[in-house]
Structure 1
Amino acid sequence: MEFYLPIKFSALLVTYKYHTKILLVSIKGEANGKIENLTVNVKLSYDYSTYQASLDKFEIKDSGRFSLRFTGNGLLDWMTNTMTSVVTLFLQPVVIRIVQAMIKGGLQAVVDAINEVIRSIFTP
C-alpha cells in the first residue's frame, strides 16, 4: 500500500538568540527566519508481508520564499538587514537543505514510531 502526500507549509518560523563578544564589544540580539509557501511531496508505503511502514520519497517541490531579519541592536540591525536581503539569495539553498533534513528526520521518526507500535502488536 502506498500513500502520496503533498504537504504545504504556509510559514516556517525560526528564532535564534545570539550573544557575540569581539574584543571588548558585546552584541546581543535575535535572528528571525521565515520560509513561506514551502511545498513537499512525500511517499509512504506499508508492506503487509513484513508489517513495516517506510518513508520512500521526500522531495521539496517549491522552496518558497526565505527571509531573515535581525533585531535587538538598532542601527546595527538596519545595516545588517540591508546586507542580509542580498545574502539570503545565496543562503536559501543551504537553509532549504537544513529544513529538508529536519522535516525528513521528523517524518522518519514518525514512521519508526509506527513500526514500533506495529511490532509490539504483532510480536509476542
Structure 2
Amino acid sequence: MKITVAVFLLTIAGSGWANKDLNYELQINKKILENLLQKLEPLQDELSVGTEGHITAVINDYADQLLENIYTYSVNKGFDTIALDDYDNWFLTASVTLTNGTLGGLTNIQRSDDVVVTYTSSSKLLDVTIPITFKKIYFQYHYHVIVLLIGPEGTMTGKIRDLSMELKLSFDFNEYQATYTKASIKSSGHIDVTFDGGLVEIVVNILSELATTILHPLIVLVIEGEINNVLGKVVENINESISNILNPQ
C-alpha cells in the first residue's frame, strides 16, 4: 500500500496531456521528489496501521514543477492551439458567421491555491485536489455580419482572463483503481474582444454582445472538455501503472 501512494502521484506527473511519451520527458527535480516522498511518509505509515479519520499533505512544490514541465512540453509539441467550431446563426437583428476559429493559451496553467492530498480511512479513498487558473486564453475568429443591408467582415480577436477550475483525482484502496471527478469551473473569467475592419457601431455592439453571451460560455465548455479528456487519459495511465505493479507479468 505504501508504494501505491507514491506511484499514484508520480504517475500523474508522467501522464499529462494524453501522451504516453510524456512519461519520459516530464522529469521531477530530485530534491522536490525527495521532499514529496518525505511528506507522504506519515500518510503512508498511517495507511499501513489503519488510522481512523483523515490525514492530509500539501504538495505545492511538486505541483508547481509539474505544471511548469507540462507547459514546456506542450509548447514544444504544439498542443497550445486548438480549432474552434464555426458559428452560423441569427443573433439579435443580424446574420453572424464565424469561421477559422482558434483557441490558444491552454498550456498557461498556474496553481491557484494549495494542492492537497487527503486520505479518508472510512472510505479508503486517497484524494488529490488541484486548483488551477488560466491567466490568459486567446481566441480568434473570422467574422462576417449581415445587418441593415451591409456585410462587413474581418477578424475578431479576444482573450479570457483568470479562468479557474478545480481538478480532483481519487484512488480507491478497496479496488486499487483511480478515478476522476469532472473538472469544475470556479470562475469563468473575464472576456475582452477587439475587431478589425472599420466597423460601424451597430456591428460592434452585435459582435460584443455575441462574444459575451454566446462565445464566452461556449469556449469555457471547450476548455472544460479538453481538461476532462486529459484527466481521463491520466486515470487510464495510473490504473495501468498500478496494475503492472500489483500484477507483474
Query: In the alignment, which of 84, 87, 102 is matched to residue 207 of structure 2?
Result: 84
2:183 is the alignment partner of 1:67: no
How far is 1:15 from its partner? Answer: 4.8
User: In the superposition, relative to structure 1, how do residues 47 and 69 fare at CA in structure 2: closer, same or farther (>3 Å)?
Assistant: same
Runs of 4+, deviation exceeding 3 Å:
28-33, 67-71, 78-83
Name the structure 2 match of 1:24: none
Per-residue CA deviation, residues 6-51 of structure 1 (Å, 9 max, x unaligned), is 11111223456x6x9xxxxxxx976544221011112211112322
Query: In the alignment, which of 208, 229, 232 is matched to residue 108 of structure 1?
Result: 232
SS in 2 for 1:49: coil
Superposition pairs of residues 1-124 of structure 1, within 5 angstroms: 1-15=126-140, 31-69=156-194, 74-75=197-198, 83-91=206-214, 92-123=216-247, 124=249
The number of equivalent residue pairs is 115
SS in 1 for 2:184: strand
Quote the Cα distance in structure 1 between the aligned partners of 2:171 and 2:217.
32
SS in 2 for 1:86: helix
User: In the superposition, relative to structure 1, how do residues 80 and 118 fare at CA in structure 2: closer, same or farther (>3 Å)?
Assistant: farther
Quote the Cα distance in structure 2 between the aligned partners of 1:57 and 1:45.
12
How far is 1:62 from its partner? Answer: 0.3
User: In the superposition, relative to structure 1, how do residues 93 and 4 fare at CA in structure 2: closer, same or farther (>3 Å)?
Assistant: same
How far is 1:64 from its partner? Answer: 0.1
Quote the Cα distance in structure 2 between the aligned partners of 1:102 and 1:34.
18
How far is 1:103 from its partner? Answer: 1.4
Quote the Cα distance in structure 2 between the aligned partners of 1:29 and 1:112.
43
Contact 2:169 2:181 in 1 (8 A): yes
How far is 1:69 from its partner? Answer: 4.4
Structure with bigger RCO (C-alpha 8 Å, 6+ apart): 1
SS in 2 for 1:55: strand
Greater strand fraction, Structure 1 or Structure 2: 1
Quote the Cα distance in structure 2 between the aligned partners of 1:94 and 1:100.
10
SS in 2 for 1:45: strand
Give the share of equivalent positions with the same residue, in percent: 31
How far is 1:119 from its partner? Answer: 2.0
Matched to 2:167, the amino acid is V
User: In the superposition, relative to structure 1, how do residues 122 and 10 fare at CA in structure 2: closer, same or farther (>3 Å)?
Assistant: same
